[in-house]
Amino acid sequence: MKVITLLYTTKVLIMRLLNKINYLLFAFCFVFSVAGQNSSKKPLNVIWISVEDMGPVLSSYGNKSIQTPNIDRLANEGIKYTNAYATVGVCAPSRFSIITSMYPARLGAHNMRTGDHNNFKWPEDVKFRQNKGVVDKSGENIPDYEVVTPSYVKPFTEYLREQGYYCVNDDKCDYQFNAPFTAWDDVYGGGSYKNAPDGAPFFYVKNYYTTHESRIWLRKDKPITVDPEKVPVPDYYPDIPIVRSDIARKYSNIEALDKEVGELLEQLKADGVLNNSIIFFWSDHGGNLLRQKRAVGDSGLHVPLIVRYPDGYRAGETENRLVSLMDLGPTVMSLIGINPPDYMDGKAFAGDFEQSPRQYIYGSADRFDECTDMQRSVLDGRYVYIKNFMPELPLIYRNKYREQIPMNKHLIELDSLNRLEGNAAYIFMKSKPNEELYDLENDPYEVYNLADNPKYEFKLQELRTQLGQWQEAIDDKGFVPESELIKSFWPNMKQPSTAKVNIQINSEYISLSCETKGASIGYQMGDDVGTNYWKLYTTPIQTEPNEKIRARAIRIGYKASSISTN
């Protein structure tokens, strides 16, 4: 009996061993088969169509008073996201979160804006104003400065460049720091994906300004293509001609943008890249009118987001998951096979490294130009909770820039004359409640505050708790006066400098290093020497005898190093 049992046990062990060998052989063959397929497949290009100051008011999102056939085409051929949000309702802090994939309030980049960093400048051309008529909440003067991020934070595009992607931005930056020359292959304006080296995949950002707040007055003489009598008027505005006129101008600008998008799509098709590119269409924050831009609720943060894949993947579908604009960079990385680093607040919502959907979106509002406030918000897709940390201030404060829009200035005048009433008077509250709670399903324009309604106490407690936990988790820098933040970035109010690049040469390779922790290194060799083009240094460079090299380093917020040569 023992012999039989022993023979049976031995047979079982042998069978298990054979099964494992067969499985390993299968897995080995499968991996190499996939590897062979991937090696022969051309990497996908990624294209961002970045637009300004626009909520989800397109015809593909249900707005019947506007015609946007080209953007609708993207939606029909791609995935339409209905719950996408900015981190801040204004350009620079929002774009900081996009390029770094980090919350602005975590890293002290939440104030609008830190300096003249709208477009790329060479390090030698960066200038800082010492007095621009701006003070912080403690009354201290705020000069121009650059946010200094922790040493481990990089523009996400550097991870793409490391993998051989040609990265071109045409041409807005506005990152709260001067764009490092290592972040892009081309960011000088007018650049094109056509300049990518033969066989190299590209990441191309096309920025359109047509829908920016300023275009309400700068395009006042352009044709009105939307009937003012047919535009929807939000509940927080009076239904008067000047309001309808500016809303019609806003929508006409969007229709003009749609034509530009159509021209780009035709160009992509003509160049043969449309069917090998993933296209993202998004706006940097919500709407451009009063109580939209700079707002911390749905009207200021809610944006359109469409992702079109070249193979028709999920074409025409609607996706309701919560997405932050911080997630764009990690998602691009995930789609091209790069695992986003753990430090990022952004989460990939597609690709190999997709993460679980967000439960909440968090927003912030602080200094906007010459005006200071502090608000924080949390949204769950239906409800919006806002905490006002300076409730003694009015909701609609005076701001010279936005009062160039005719209706904005007129509404402020009407309010001063007490000629606004009902919902149209709501946003002109002279002081703010400590808390606001809105149900977007029943109150899409956020004019009925439910914070004191006992029926919503559970939701109020939930979102209040979530906001508090988030602020604690990120160590919200909104509580720190901006003048103190600047001193933490620039000790003694002097911008730190990046150390010079060390060049080490042996018979076959050149190695580059920099003593500044977190610095990125750019270099030029061969025909690139003396041009605007700087390659990103990642590993030792194979070289020919006596080959010339130029190198310089930069860390976010630091002054760039001088140029080293061999």
Q: What is the distance between the alpha carbons of residues 145 and 493, in angstroms, rounded to a whole number?
A: 9
- In this structure, the number of other CB atoms found within 10 A of the CB of residue 510 comes to 19
What is the torsional sign of CA 356, 360, 361, 364? Answer: negative
**444: Cβ–Cβ under 8 A, 6 or more apart, which residues?**
298
* Annotated catalytic residue 91: yes
Q: Please classify residue 482 by burial: count the beta carbons closer than 10 Å to its beta carbon, then call 0-12 exposed, 13-18 middle and 19+ buried.
A: buried
104 in Cβ contact with 97 (< 8 Å) = yes
- In this structure, the number of other CB atoms found within 10 A of the CB of residue 315 comes to 13
Reduced 3-state DSSP string for 371-390 = ECCCEEEEECCCEEEEEECC
Question: DSSP readout, 463-490?
Answer: HHHHHHHHHHHHT-GGGS-HHHHHHHHS
Among the options 91, 167, 173, 514, which is catalytic?
91
As a 3-state breakdown, the chain gives helix, strand, coil percent values, each rounded to 5, of 35, 20, 50
Q: Which among 319, 271, 265, 325 is positioned nearest to 72, based on CA atoms? A: 265
Element housing 83 (H / E): strand 79-85
**138: Cβ–Cβ under 8 A, 6 or more apart, which residues?**
481, 483
Q: Which among 174, 103, 175 is positioned nearest to 362, based on CA atoms? A: 103
Alpha helices in 271-419 (DSSP H): 298-301, 328-335, 406-416
Q: What is the tally of helices (H) and strands (E) in the chain?
A: 13, 18
Cis, peptide link before residue 352, omega less than 30° from 0: no
Collapsed DSSP state (helix, strand, coil) of residue 407: helix
Chain centroid to Cα 416, Å, comes to 37
Report CA dihedral (250, 256, 257, 261) to the nearest 10 degrees: 160
Cis, peptide link before residue 113, omega less than 30° from 0: yes
Q: What is the distance between the alpha carbons of residues 341 and 151, in angstroms, rounded to a whole number?
A: 13
| Sheet with strand 277-283: strands edge to edge | 166-170, 202-207, 45-51, 277-283, 302-308, 79-85, 317-324
400 in Cβ contact with 443 (< 8 Å) = no
Which are the catalytic amino acids?
Answer: 91
